[in-house]
Structure 1
Amino acid sequence: MEPSHSNTAQSRRSVDRKTIEKNRRMQMKSLYSELISLLPHHSSRTSALPDQLDEAANYIKKLQVNVEKKRERKRKLVATTTFEKLNSAGSSLASSSVDVSVPKRLPKIEIQEMGSILHIFLVTSLEHKFMFGEIIRVLTEELGAEITHAGYSIVDDAVFHTLHCKVEECDYGARSQIPERLEKFVNSVN
């Protein structure tokens, strides 16, 4: 009796494997069809499956390149637009507007005072990006300011730094020297 029981078990396992394999093939065929339907040109339906898969892979690579280009363009536009908005926001030092179109004239600084808050916009070249750290050091260690926001964005060879800080209560004369001192530091590098 055991040999027939063994044959029955083998027969069931063989049927199970065939069913599993058939289901797998059907699922893969469905996934291939779905992938090919997403391609912009549906004329490739008549070509062989490996050719269709190559076309899909090439299309995905092309999309990835386009996404990267668009991300880079967006990053540049956001950086430029943000800086232009900040620059046109009505600076208390209108004569110190920053010209980002001429990298040779960098670094440039603009400081906006709003009560006890200073908004500092610094544009440097990549070779002068150390200045941002030095300005933070001067503000915190020497002038006792509290940094509330610091950030930067890089567009081509220009680095756009933004810094917001709160100046501790001190006499107005000392606080009014902060913009002058920072501008002097930046101009000494020019």
Structure 2
Amino acid sequence: MEIPPPSAGGGGGGGKPDRKTTERIRREQMNKLYSHLDSLVRSAPPTGGAAAATTRPDRLGVAAEYIRQTQERVDMLREKKRELTGGGGGGSSSSSGAGAATAAAPEVEVQHLGSGLHAILFTGAPPTDGASFHRAVRAVEDAGGQVQNAHFSVAGAKAVYTIHAMIGDGYGGIERVVQRLKEAIRSN
């Protein structure tokens, strides 16, 4: 028959740590959190001495100020991004009142790379699903192209498809692939 070892706390309780142990663990966790906070928020050391001389409320104040400044910087950068992306889209949206059909017309740019093809397609509106993207990839494959890489991204009110494909000489070559690609995009 085995006898369980006596509890370290000496309280004789059923496994619950005593108050002293709980407080020590809590202090260690807080010290780890403050250390982690200090590693994330690097500030200039105080002029009077070492970094340990600052009090915890001071360190929290420095961290709060750092977070506030970072948030302002992020907001400013978001606004700048919105102006830059909206600037190009803003001009087209003002002209779209006169002719919405021309603003929504897809554009196809194709670069011939020897036996390869690099196609960039701009659609007038972002897709609600990936069907038009898959149609473009399928059109390249149906026309005899081997798709090496294909992806799309949405920028503002436009979707941008990029397709890299290898094209064989048979079946009309690159011209046939480009024609099929344009037909697939315009059939949206």
User: TM-score under structure 1 normalisation?
Assistant: 0.53
What is the CA–CA distance in structure 2 between the aligned matches of 1:109 and 1:186, rounded to whole Å?
A: 9
One-letter amino acid of the counterpart of residue 160, structure 1: V
Whole-Å Cα distance in 2 between the matches of residues 107 and 170 of structure 1?
28
The corresponding residue for 1:166 is: 166
Rate the CA distance shift 1:161–1:71 in 2: closer, same or farther, 3 A. Answer: farther
The code of the aligned residue for 2:57 comes to: R
CA contact (8 A) 1:35 1:56 kept: no
**Which of 4, 10, 13 pairs up with 2:10?**
13
Distance 1:113 1:11, change over 3 A: closer
8 Å contact from structure 1 (residues 112, 118) kept in 2: yes
3-state DSSP class of the match of 2:154?
strand
Question: Which residue of structure 2 aligns with residue 3 of structure 1?
Answer: none
CA distance in 2, matches of 1:177, 1:21: 75
Structure 2 Cα separation of the partners of residues 150 and 170 of structure 1: 22
Give the deviation of 1:58 after TM superposition: 10
Task: Give the aligned partner of residue 110 of structure 2.
Answer: 111
Per-residue deviation, 1:60: 6.3
Q: RMSD of aligned C-alpha atoms? A: 4.8
Q: What are the equivalent positions in structure 2 for 1:137-152 lying under 5 Å apart?
A: 137-140=138-141, 142-152=142-152
How many pairs are equivalent? 151
**What is aligned with 1:93?**
none
Q: Which runs of 5+ in 2 are unaligned?
A: 1-5, 44-53, 94-102
Q: Deviation of residue 174 (structure 1)?
A: 4.5
Q: 1:65 to 1:167 in 2, by over 3 A?
A: farther
* Partner Cα separation in structure 1 for residue 22 and residue 183 of structure 2: 76
Question: Do the aligned partners of residues 151 and 17 (structure 1) sit closer, same or farther apart at CA in structure 2, a change above 3 Å counting?
Answer: same
Q: Distance in 2 between matches of 1:176 and 1:156?
A: 31
What residue number does 2:175 align with?
Answer: 176
Alpha carbons of structure 1 residues 65 and 149: separation in structure 2 relative to 1, 3 Å: farther
Distance 2:175 2:37 in 1: 66
For residues 119 and 182 of structure 1, the distance between their equivalents in structure 2, rounded to whole angstroms, comes to 12
Query: Retained in 1: the 8 A contact 2:143–2:180?
Result: no
Percent of pairs with identical residues? 21
Cα distance in 1 between the residues matched to 2:33 and 2:139:
62
Which residue does 2:57 correspond to in 1?
45
What SS class does the counterpart of residue 102 from structure 1 fall into?
helix
User: Alignment partner of 2:144: what SS?
Assistant: coil
Q: Distance in 1 between matches of 2:173 and 2:116?
A: 14
The CA deviation string for residues 64-121 of structure 1, in whole angstroms up to 9 with x for no partner, is 89769969988xx8xx8xxxxxxxxxxxxxxxxxx97636244111111111111010
Alignment check: 8 A CA contact 1:122 1:132 kept: no
Residue identity in the other structure for 1:168: G
| SS of alignment partner, residue 152 of structure 1 | strand
Question: Cα distance, 1:166 vs. partner?
Answer: 0.9
Cα distance in 2 for residues equivalent to 1:154 and 1:67? 21
- Considering fraction of residues, name the structure with more helix: 1
Q: Match of 2:160, as an amino acid?
A: F
Distance 2:127 2:106 in 1: 10
Matching residue within 68, 88, 92 for 1:102 = 92
